[in-house]
A and B are shown apart, each in its own frame.
Chain A
Amino acid sequence: MRKVVKKQVLLQGNEACVEGALMAGCRFYAGYPITPATEIMEIMAEKMPETGGVFIQMEDEIASLGAVIGASLAGMKSMTATSGPGFSLMQEHIGFAGMAEVPCVIVDVMRAGPSTGLPTQLSQGDVMQARWGTHGDHPIIVLAPSSVYEFFELTVQAFNLSERYRTPVILLVDEVVAHMREGVILPAKNSLEIEERPHPTVPPEWYIPYADPGTGVPPMPAFGDGYRYHVTGLYHDVRGYPTVRTDEVEPLIHRLFTKISKDFDRLQWFDAFETEDARVTVIAYGCVARAAHRAVRQAREKGLKVGLIKLKILWPFMRRTISGILANSQKVLVPELNVGQISREVKRVNESRCEVVTLNKVDGTPIKPAEILQKLGEIYS
């Protein structure tokens, strides 16, 4: 038997994202140019027609996500990509997609804000906006890759989660991961599990669009399939019709949350490094996790019992995983490229069990391994 040797390819993070999207079955891209996310759009402009998909450049980011939601309602796996200012504009439609339960994937390659900020330097400042940017109570799924391969892998997973739960999924990426080039070996096309949204199994006349089938995720036909139904951003009853009835409004919002929260156990995605005997644990994500990894290695060489938890899912926050870390460490260090966003969540989950130390940088430059190493030395006892 001939051995198939998979070729390593040199890919930029944004290129890997496109590869992941294509493998996941994305066939619609709408976007608006913005650095440092533009490469995704430019590559999509070339690749979509080749795969029989649709690419369109819209007039702004609001329109981009509107078109993406429309295409998804018509049955296509759809995505867009943007950066801070565009992400702000998209918040309105992120809420719509959440309320109307339309699968879609949104990439936010973060840049330093607020406003036009530092175009287009490094930041992790959109963590809380990704969680709470659109108005009203809502669940959200946010993934954060820290390498080129992970950007590929998590893009595939973003589509899978968005289809599985009928919810918008955000890929929160920092500029380093988006623009860095690494050698990666992409998996064969059929080696990955690709999920599709649940489809109705009853004839159209029996179909009740927003009735809970028990999983919390109602089946979703495409417009044109013969299942004529109503989609709205208003609170709606099981038929999709607007309602203000208290006995219909509250169950809806609770279902939107529980369809995801019931699977919290499945959504603990992290990498642990040297955590078993760690007295100090670093909690990091994105490019900062790379620096932290090196710092932890160097600290271990010096005999310090330190470890690292790299978060791949930021929201819903991995309370279970982090609680375990907090219970077993004396201290945790949360380095971030913002004034402290995930560290707030860590403190919330901590409930004063151990000391939470932060290391923040907001000047548009990366946190270096040496800075984390120094901090570890300072707080280690």
Chain B
Amino acid sequence: MNKVEIYRGWCKKCDICIAFCPQKVLEADEESYPTVVSPEKCTGCLLCEMRCPDFAIVVNKDEESRKETGPAAGK
């Protein structure tokens, strides 16, 4: 399963990752930080990572989805 990691120290709570996740994997927690609510839905599309203005999200993809998608795949 893909794993979405959020560096709270760098996050400025802009909500971009939450709003544009095609699978609604993320939601705001009580402190307004994004948090993973549906990890199983993550397809590893990397859009949250790519659109994060603060480099505060990393999607650690499992081996299977790594082959199929991601920025390097479009090369």
A–B contact with Cβ pairs below 8 Å: the answer is no
